[in-house]
């Protein structure tokens, strides 16, 4: 059985993951409006992945006979000055999410809830990837900062990013 503290924290994390999805959808729409279809695609894939993260946590709570409590999603920003600014905000945001996931892991460890600790390992590893991906995008966008052709090439490359369902969902019965 989950402790009330961990149950509440996981529900808060579900809300945070859905807010993240909403943020990345907003970035996708802003990039699309500015003609960066590849960047829009990159953020659209991020949107899908964040929804997966929330879904994994909802499935976990359900598997532990704990109620999922969905809350309203707070408003997100809708416009950025540049693609580079979007990626910088992405890294800042993912660092916040890493802190939230680490907090969940700390609560599970304090509770000696080994099942929750085990489930959270996937999220800890995922956050390493999320931060690395955002840093890579900052580096790439900085490399082409004043080069329109370079930005065109980067945008075309990002158009090729495809969504892959998160492994905990791909192996579930759903």
Q: Domains of the chain, with CATH numbers?
A: 4-163 (1.20.1260.10)
Q: What is the pLDDT of residue 171?
A: 65
Tell me if 172 sits within 8 A of 122, measured CB to CB: no
Structure tokens that stand for 85 in this block? 């600014």
Q: What is the pLDDT of residue 151?
A: 82
Distance CA 116, CA 145 (A): 43
**Which residues 6+ apart lie within 8 Å of 52 measured at CB?**
165, 166, 169
Q: What is the pLDDT of residue 145?
A: 77
Q: What is the pLDDT of residue 172?
A: 59
Tell me if 42 sits within 8 A of 137, measured CB to CB: yes
How high is the mean pLDDT of the chain?
94
Q: What is the pLDDT of residue 156?
A: 86
Task: Report how far apart, in Å, the C-alpha atoms of 15 and of each of 12, 39, 75, 160 are.
Answer: 5, 25, 12, 29
**Which residues 6+ apart lie within 8 Å of 86 measured at CB?**
27, 30, 31, 39, 43, 80
Q: What is the pLDDT of residue 152?
A: 85
**Which residues 6+ apart lie within 8 Å of 168 measured at CB?**
56, 59, 122
| Mean pLDDT (whole number) for 95-104 | 98
| Mean pLDDT (whole number) for 13-36 | 98
Q: Please say whether the dihedral angle defined by the alpha carbons of residues 87, 129, 69 and 103, taken in this order, is positive or negative.
A: negative
Name the nearest CA neighbour of 14 among 123, 115, 113: 123
Q: What is the pLDDT of residue 29?
A: 98
What pTM did the predictor assign? 0.91
Q: What does the pLDDT look like over 43-79, one tens digit per residue?
A: 999 999 999 999 999 999 999 999 999 999 999 999 9
């Amino acid at each position: 059985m989950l402790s009330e503290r961990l149950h509440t924290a996981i529900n808060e994390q579900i809300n945070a993951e859905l807010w993240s999805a909403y943020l990345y959808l907003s970035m996708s729409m802003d990039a699309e409006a500015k003609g960066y279809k590849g960047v829009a695609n990159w953020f659209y894939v991020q949107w899908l992945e964040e929804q997966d993260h929330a879904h994994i946590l909802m499935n976990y709570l359900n598997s532990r006979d704990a109620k999922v409590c969905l809350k309203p999603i707070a408003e997100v920003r809708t416009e950025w000055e540049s693609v580079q600014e979007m990626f910088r905000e992405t890294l800042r945001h993912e660092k916040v999410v890493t802190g939230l996931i680490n907090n969940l892991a700390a609560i599970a460890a304090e509770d000696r809830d080994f099942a929750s600790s085990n489930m959270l390992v996937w999220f800890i590893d995922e956050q390493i990837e999320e931060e690395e991906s955002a840093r890579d995008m900052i580096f790439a966008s900085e490399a082409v900062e004043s080069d329109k052709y370079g930005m065109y090439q980067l945008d075309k490359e990002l158009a090729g990013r495809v969504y892959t369902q998160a492994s905990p969902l791909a192996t579930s019965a759903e």
